[in-house]
Chains A and B, each alone.
Chain A
């Protein structure tokens, strides 16, 4: 069955520290992969996406993600976290044409001063 797993329900990092959020997928063929961010009371905003090609993808707000086919993973990283990055982050997988996008359960990021 198709699934997206985010193993960490919540993560706390200090401001200025590096961040890595984990995502594993099970989707048959290599899907399109996405990371979204959701701030309280807001809709989801796309941070970055992977379709094919270079496995290291750059996104907005200084985020990047690396696709590793052998590990079925698509982890999100940021070298230095800012307090404004505190939010919920969702990994998602979809297929050609944008159908049946599946979201993980999310990881809530807390940033401490």
Chain B
């Protein structure tokens, strides 16, 4: 079974530039997550999709970050404009559909995209 795919694996940009990351979840996984992992910290959830709808984006800096999952499969995360503090690894994860009050379905993580903002 193919895992969660992410691209690019590495990206270096200058501050104020824009950048986009792509994620292809495991086939059949309705729930998709984007996490930000700053060096020395654990992953922090940015946004959670159920199919093509947003379930939780409370920690997404909406003034500069955006994400979409138009067809309920692939997803893109964009940063515009980037700041120095956005340097981090951006992890995508997917799982079978999560429902409030329902059982927990394991999240499977991709390898991440390491972003360096100069």
Contact = CB atoms under 8 A, between A and B. Distances in A.
Interface residues of B, number: 29
Contacts of B43: 44, 90, 103
B58 to A, nearest CB: 9
Contacts of A51: 104
Interface in B78-118: 91, 93, 95, 98-102, 104-112
Contact of B48 (A4, A41, A44, A99): A99
A97 B42 contact: no
30 contacts: A4-B42, A41-B111, A43-B91, A43-B108, A43-B110, A44-B93, A44-B109, A46-B106, A49-B104, A51-B104, A90-B43, A96-B100, A96-B104, A97-B100, A97-B101, A97-B102, A98-B31, A98-B98, A98-B104, A98-B105, A98-B107, A99-B55, A100-B56, A101-B45, A101-B107, A103-B44, A104-B42, A105-B41, A106-B40, A106-B41
Interface of B: 3-4, 31, 40-45, 48, 55-56, 91, 93, 95, 98-102, 104-112
Interface of A: 4, 9, 32, 41-46, 49, 51, 90, 92, 94, 96-106
